[in-house]
């Protein structure tokens, strides 16, 4: 049995860096180098308990438990933005500034506590500024100081400040393409290759990534898609207990690194083989009707909704506030898009769940 293909299979080729990946490598990069490199697997896996050491429980929470916050991003008094160089930190800072946040870029981690003191002092003089949220961009540009981030976060928590940690990630291939497009060296590259610097940074950020509250894979997102996703995360419904991203994607472009749940829609007939539907997308009525009319489509929606209802309850009990559900087909244009929209509409109707939809590979062919 062979899988069916979207029309993108007939015209493979790299995406245009100018309109595809998030092109902020120029502002994220720095010419200096420091030792170290990260994982190839999905994010936030330490939360599932698989990385917890055996042994008796102690009174003081573990480093990972102390660092992870159950506060909503849009309610957090302080958000630490970090991640891979070139993965979109500058875009994130711009989005937060547009939303009215105070953003401090490239802050040495040791100054987190001082920043908290300054914020408290400002609130004492100007109580009306209580709604002013603060974000700090911390990354390997601070070189050896960056290695003190773990202790700085713990110190901030000991003082009653509960920072949330947002980690931006991307594949090596996407990062190489972005750095090459702006002709800047990686901050950890030194005298070696660009890929050497990326791998050093991955290793350096491995533990931090696994303990982050939210991890966003920007590999297939352009600036506008990333901005929309960030805006949804930071302006959610305050009544919701869980923010859920439903993302369509094409398997030919790779699995989303930040996916918590993955559904494969390639068991349905492909609209690509219907001539009048081929140029359309899953957001167009005729394609959506075609996909939902296929045998098994409605049953899939019913069963996936039932499964996710059960998982949502568990996520809330475990303190997870952000979940990504990925829905894939071959090229990310027809079946996955129509199904993601339909599933997102169902989940958004659930109490305590705030959903938004991202079509990662739509328009990429």
Residue 83 annotated as part of some ligand binding site: yes
Q: Is 332 annotated as a binding residue?
A: no
87 is in an annotated binding site: yes
Q: Is 181 marked as binding a ligand?
A: no
Q: What is residue 145's DSSP assignment?
A: G
- The CA-to-CA distance between both ends of the chain, in Å, stands at 25
Binding site annotation covers 86? Answer: yes
Q: Can you list the pairs that 92-100 forms with residues at least 24 positions away whose Cβ atoms lie under 8 Å?
A: 92/135, 92/137, 92/166, 92/168, 92/226, 92/230, 93/135, 93/137, 94/227, 95/226, 95/227, 95/230, 95/231, 95/234, 96/133, 96/135, 96/230, 96/234, 99/231, 99/234, 99/235, 100/132, 100/133
Query: Is 85 annotated as ligand-binding?
Result: yes
140 labelled as ligand-binding?
yes
84 among the known binding-site residues? yes
Contacts of 60 (CB under 8 A, 6+ apart): 66
SS3 66: helix
219 labelled as ligand-binding?
no
Angle CA 123–117–126, to nearest 5:
10
The answer to the question of whether 139 is labelled as a binding residue is yes
Phi, psi of 19 (to 5 degrees): -115, -10
Instruction: Say if residue 142 carries a ligand binding annotation.
Output: yes
Flag whether 89 is marked binding.
yes
**Pairing verdict, β 164-169 and 214-217:** parallel
Binding-site entries for ATP:
83-90
Binding-site entries for GTP:
139-142
Binding-site entries:
83-90, 139-142
């Amino acid at each position: 049995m062979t899988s069916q293909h979207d029309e993108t299979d007939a015209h493979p080729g790299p995406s245009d860096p100018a309109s595809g990946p998030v092109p902020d490598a120029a502002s994220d990069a720095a010419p200096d180098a420091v030792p170290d490199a990260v994982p190839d697997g999905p994010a936030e896996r330490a939360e599932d308990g698989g990385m917890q050491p055996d042994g008796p429980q102690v009174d003081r929470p573990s480093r990972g438990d102390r660092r992870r916050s159950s506060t909503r991003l849009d309610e957090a008094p302080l958000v630490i933005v970090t991640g891979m160089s070139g993965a979109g930190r500058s875009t994130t800072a711009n989005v937060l500034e547009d939303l009215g946040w105070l953003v401090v870029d490239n802050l040495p981690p040791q100054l987190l506590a001082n920043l908290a003191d300054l914020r408290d002092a400002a609130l004492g003089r100007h109580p009306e500024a209580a709604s002013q949220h603060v974000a700090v961009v911390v990354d390997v540009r601070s070189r050896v100081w960056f290695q003190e981030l773990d202790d700085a976060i713990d110190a901030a928590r000991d003082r009653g400040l509960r920072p949330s940690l947002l980690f931006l990630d991307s594949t090596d291939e996407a990062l190489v393409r972005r750095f090459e497009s702006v002709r800047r060296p990686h901050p950890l590259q030194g005298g070696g290759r660009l890929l050497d610097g990326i791998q050093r940074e991955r290793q350096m950020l491995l533990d931090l990534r696994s303990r982050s509250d939210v991890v966003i894979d920007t590999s297939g997102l352009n600036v506008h898609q990333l901005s929309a996703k960030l805006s949804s995360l930071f302006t959610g419904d305050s009544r919701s207990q869980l923010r859920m991203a439903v993302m369509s994607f094409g398997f030919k472009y790779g699995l989303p690194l930040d996916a918590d749940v993955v559904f494969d829609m390639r068991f349905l007939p492909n609209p690509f083989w219907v001539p009048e539907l081929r140029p359309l997308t899953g957001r167009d009525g005729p394609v959506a009707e075609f996909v939902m009319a296929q045998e098994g489509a409605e049953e899939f929606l019913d069963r996936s909704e039932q499964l996710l209802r059960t998982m949502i309850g568990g996520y809330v009990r475990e303190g997870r506030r952000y979940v990504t559900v990925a829905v894939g087909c071959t090229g990310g244009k027809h079946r996955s898009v129509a199904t993601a929209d339909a599933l997102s509409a169902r989940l958004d109707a659930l109490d305590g769940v705030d959903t938004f939809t991202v079509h990662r590979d739509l328009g990429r062919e």
